[in-house]
Structure 1
Amino acid sequence: MQPDAKEDFVPPPTHRAVVIEAGDRVRVRDDVPLPALEKDQFLVRTEFVAVNPSDTKMRGPFVTVGGVLGTDYAGTVVARGTDVTAVDIGDRVCGAQHANERQRASSRVVWHVQRLGRQGLAEAAAVHQHRGRVYFRRRHQHGRSRVEASGTAAARCPGREAGVYPCVRGQHGHGDHCHTAIETVEYVFTSPASANMIPIAACSPKNADQVKAYGAEETFDYRQPDSAAKIKAFTKNNLRYALDCITTVDSTTFCYAAIGRAGGKYVALDPFSPHAATRGNIKTDWVLGPTIFGYGSSWPAPYGRPPSAEIRAYGEKLWAVAQKLVDEGKLRHHPVKVLEESGLEQVATGMEMVKNGKLSGQKCVVRIIS
C-alpha cells in the first residue's frame, strides 16, 4: 500500500472535474457529484490525465450539458467495492473511462503499473485508450481472433516467411493519430497474436526513426506521390492489411493503392468515404474504440452502438494479454509531453494544443496533483 492511501478512506460526495456547459464551453467545476461506489467498482485518485482528439470532439450531440470530459488516466486506488479483489487500496493503475457516460472503473479493464513507480504515472496515462483501440482493430481486421485463457493471443495468421504485411498509415501534425499508429506498429511487433507479421508504416520522415524503434520493418513517406507504389514493391504486391489512423479521402485512397493485387482488408479509425473505397476485393470496416468496454454508444449516427456482452468479454481478455506485456516490460509508452503547469485548468490548454495540431510524435499529458 502507498503511504498516502488508506483503507478507511471515505469518498466525498462531490469532486472537481472538467465539464461541458451550455454553448460547448469547457469549465472546471468543484461540485460535480461523485456517484457512490457499487460493489464491483473502485475509485482512483487521478494524478495524471492524457488529452485525446476525442476529447476535443465531445461537443453538440456527442455530449450532455454538464457531462464530464476525459478518458485516459493514471493514479492510485483509494476505495473499492466489496466484490473487488483484483486491485488493492494503494495500487497504481492506469485506465480509460468515458466520464461523461457515468461508467465507473472496472478491475478487468485497467492495468497495474506498480513497476513504473510514481514517476511513471505520466507515461502510464498515455497508453490506455489507444491500446484498447489498437486491440479492437485487431478484432476487426482478422475477424474473431482467439484469445486464450492462458494470457496469450493467437490469430489465424500464416508465418513470417509468407510475407504477411500490415501497413499503418499515420500523419505528421496529428499527434493522436501519430501515436495511435506507433502503438499499432508496436502491438504487431510485440503481441503473440501478431507474431510472424511484418509491420510497415506510412508516416512523416520526421517520425520514421521513432516508428522503426517501436518495431516497424520499414517506413514510407506518405507525402511522396510514389509512396504507395514503393510499398507495393517492398511487399512484392502482397500487402494484405491496412490500418488507417487518419481516415480522409486521401488516406483511404493511399491505403487502397498500397494493398496488393490479391486484395485484403482496410480498417479505419472513423467512418470513411465510400467513394475512395474503389476495389471490390478489399473488405472494409471502421472501429469505434470506446465500445470495447461493452457499453455500446449513445452518440449520433453512424456512431451509435448497442451494448455487447461479447465485446466486453473480448476486451477483458485482451486487457489480460496487455497486462502480461506490461509486466514483462514489453509494452512501451508513447513519448509524452507533460505540460509545465499542473491542475485540471490545464486540460483546456492541452485540448487546444491537440486540436490545433501542435504535437507530433508526442501525447499531451496533464499533471493533476502537484
Structure 2
Amino acid sequence: MSPFLQETMDCLVQSASGQPQTEVRVKPGLKAPHDVVVHVSAVALNPTDFKSPASNPTPGAIMGCDFMGTVISAGTAADKDFPPATRVCGFVHGSNPGNPETGSFAEYLVTDSRLLIRVPDSWTDLEGAAFGGVGWGTVALAMELSLQLQGRPSKPAPPRDDGSRIPVLVYGGATATGTMACQILSMSGYQPIATASSSSSTLVLDYGAAAVVPYASPTCGETLRDKHTGGNLRHALDCISSPESVKCCFTALGRIGARYAGLDYVPDDWRTRKAIKVHMPLTYALHGHEIKFKGPYHRDADPSMLELGSRWRDEMQGLVDAGRLRPHPAREVRGKWKGIVDGLEMMKAGEVRGQKLVVALDGKDSV
C-alpha cells in the first residue's frame, strides 16, 4: 500500500516527563480551504524545540517547527498554487498547548498554505528544511512590529541624506536567524552590523553583514556605538537574549528613539535604559491563532498576523525564486527520530556553531 494511503503515522511527542518519545497517531487531514497536507521529508531543529516543552509542558503534543516536504492534498483555496507533488518548506507551532497535533516532527502535517514557500529544484530536502520558516518569520515580525522598519526587499529603504544606509545591529549574526536577518536587512536597504565570534565573522559577512564585531570583546557595545554607528544606532535585533547580549545592545543603541527586538523575554532588571522600547517577536503568532503560553509569551488570536505573514511570505518567495536568499549552512544529524533527540541534546549542550541541524525523515537525503 502506498504510504500516502496509510491512515496512521509515526511522530515525536512530549512524554509525561517532558522528554521526546515516538508515538503512532492518526494522519491529519484538511480542515480549511487554505490547508495543505504535507508528507514531511526533513526537519530542522530550533532552540524553541526544547525550550517550549520545558517552559510550557504539554504531554502528548507533537514537537517540532521547521519542515520540508511534499504536498499530497490541498484545500480548495490552496490547490492552484500548491497542487500535489509541490515541494514546500515552512513552519508550524510545535509543542502547542492550544493544538497538540500541529508539530513538524511527524511523517505528515497539515498547515496553512499562506505561510508556505515553494522550494526550488536546486535545493536538497535538507536545505529546504534549513530554510524552513521560523527564521524569516522572526525577521518579518522583528522588522515590521518590533523595530518598525519600513524597507522591504521589494521596496528598499532610501539612503540617508549623506548617502549612507540606516544601520541595524544583529546580535548573534552567526545564528540561523542572524544570517537570515543580515540577508533580508541588506536587501531591504539597511546596513546590518553584526556580532559574532572571530571564527564566524567570515560566515556572517558572506551572508550580508557590512561589519562584524566580536561579541566576546569587553567593549563590544562601545565599539558598535562609537566606531560603527557614530552613536546613531536606533534598531537592534538580539538573536541571543542573554544578560550579556542585552547589555551590549543597550550600550550600542543611541539616546533617542531606540528600539530593541529580543527573541526571548528580557526581564526588567536587565533593561538598564528605560527609554529603549523593548519588544519580543513570537513567530508562532504569524498563524493568527491564540498562543496559549504562560505570562509574557501568551498572545491573543490575531488574524492580522496571518496577513502580515502572508505578505512577507510573498517577499520571501520572490527572493527564493530569484536565487537571492539562501538557508543557513545545514548539518545533517542521522538517525531519524533518534537523530532529532540527539540533535536537541547537542543544542542544549551548546555544541552547535554556525550551522542549522537538520534530520531526514525519509532516509534519502544528505548534504
Quote the offset at 1:280 in angstroms. 4.1
2:179 paired with 1:179: no
Across the aligned residues of Structure 1 and Structure 2, the Cα RMSD in angstroms comes to: 2.3
Q: Which amino acid aligns with 1:229?
A: E
Seen in structure 2, the aligned counterparts of structure 1 residues 266 and 156 have a Cα distance that, compared at 3 Å, is farther
Seen in structure 2, the aligned counterparts of structure 1 residues 367 and 218 have a Cα distance that, compared at 3 Å, is same
CA separation in 1, counterparts of 2:55 and 2:237? 28
Percent of residue pairs bearing the same amino acid type: 28
CA separation in 2, counterparts of 1:98 and 1:337? 23
Structure 2 partner of 1:141 = 146
Alignment of 1:49-68 (within 5 A): 49-60=43-54, 62-68=56-62
Quote the offset at 1:260 in angstroms. 2.3
Q: Deviations over 1:157-215 (max 9, x none)?
A: 856825411011118xxxxx72211211111112xxx21x1111111111101000111
CA separation in 2, counterparts of 1:364 and 1:131? 17
Any stretches of 5+ residues in structure 2 without a counterpart? 103-109
Structure 2 partner of 1:343 = 336
Structure 2 partner of 1:90 = 85
Checking the alignment, whether the CA contact within 8 Å between 2:44 and 2:130 is kept in structure 1 is: yes
Seen in structure 2, the aligned counterparts of structure 1 residues 157 and 241 have a Cα distance that, compared at 3 Å, is farther
Structure 2 partner of 1:327 = 321
Quote the offset at 1:155 in angstroms. 6.1
2:296 paired with 1:302: yes
SS at match of 1:345: helix
SS at match of 1:57: helix
Residue 72 of structure 1, aligned match among 52, 66, 91: 66
CA separation in 1, counterparts of 2:289 and 2:5? 25
CA separation in 1, counterparts of 2:158 and 2:182? 19
Q: Which amino acid aligns with 2:288?
A: G
Seen in structure 2, the aligned counterparts of structure 1 residues 61 and 248 have a Cα distance that, compared at 3 Å, is closer
Seen in structure 2, the aligned counterparts of structure 1 residues 288 and 145 have a Cα distance that, compared at 3 Å, is same
CA separation in 1, counterparts of 2:40 and 2:250? 42
Quote the offset at 1:136 in angstroms. 1.0
Checking the alignment, whether the CA contact within 8 Å between 1:201 and 1:218 is kept in structure 2 is: yes
CA separation in 1, counterparts of 2:40 and 2:317? 20
CA separation in 1, counterparts of 2:256 and 2:164? 14
Q: Deviations over 1:248-283 (max 9, x none)?
A: 222111111111243511111111122232324422
Alignment of 1:124-139 (within 5 A): 124-127=128-131, 128-139=133-144
Checking the alignment, whether the CA contact within 8 Å between 1:200 and 1:216 is kept in structure 2 is: yes
SS at match of 1:75: strand
Structure 2 partner of 1:116 = 122
Q: Which amino acid aligns with 1:111?
A: I
SS at match of 2:163: helix
More displaced 10-residue stretch of structure 1: 261-270 or 346-355? 261-270
CA separation in 2, counterparts of 1:152 and 1:122? 27
Structure 2 partner of 1:278 = 272
Checking the alignment, whether the CA contact within 8 Å between 1:91 and 1:114 is kept in structure 2 is: no
Structure 2 partner of 1:20 = 14
Seen in structure 2, the aligned counterparts of structure 1 residues 71 and 35 have a Cα distance that, compared at 3 Å, is same
Seen in structure 2, the aligned counterparts of structure 1 residues 48 and 160 have a Cα distance that, compared at 3 Å, is farther
Q: Deviations over 1:124-182 (max 9, x none)?
A: 101221111111111123438487xxx935668856825411011118xxxxx722112
CA separation in 2, counterparts of 1:229 and 1:39? 51
Q: Which amino acid aligns with 2:308?
A: Y
Any stretches of 5+ residues in structure 1 without a counterpart? 1-5, 172-176
Structure 2 partner of 1:106 = 112
Structure 2 partner of 1:288 = 282
CA separation in 2, counterparts of 1:12 and 1:154? 47
Seen in structure 2, the aligned counterparts of structure 1 residues 144 and 222 have a Cα distance that, compared at 3 Å, is closer
CA separation in 1, counterparts of 2:76 and 2:154? 30
CA separation in 2, counterparts of 1:53 and 1:261? 32
Structure 2 partner of 1:174 = none
Structure 2 partner of 1:255 = 249
CA separation in 2, counterparts of 1:366 and 1:226? 38
Q: Deviations over 1:285-339 (max 9, x none)?
A: 1111211221130011111111101111011111011000000001111001112
Seen in structure 2, the aligned counterparts of structure 1 residues 319 and 200 have a Cα distance that, compared at 3 Å, is same
CA separation in 1, counterparts of 2:149 and 2:250? 23
SS at match of 1:199: strand
More displaced 10-residue stretch of structure 1: 353-362 or 91-100? 91-100
Checking the alignment, whether the CA contact within 8 Å between 1:141 and 1:241 is kept in structure 2 is: no
CA separation in 2, counterparts of 1:287 and 1:155? 22
CA separation in 2, counterparts of 1:19 and 1:157? 48
CA separation in 2, counterparts of 1:12 and 1:61? 34
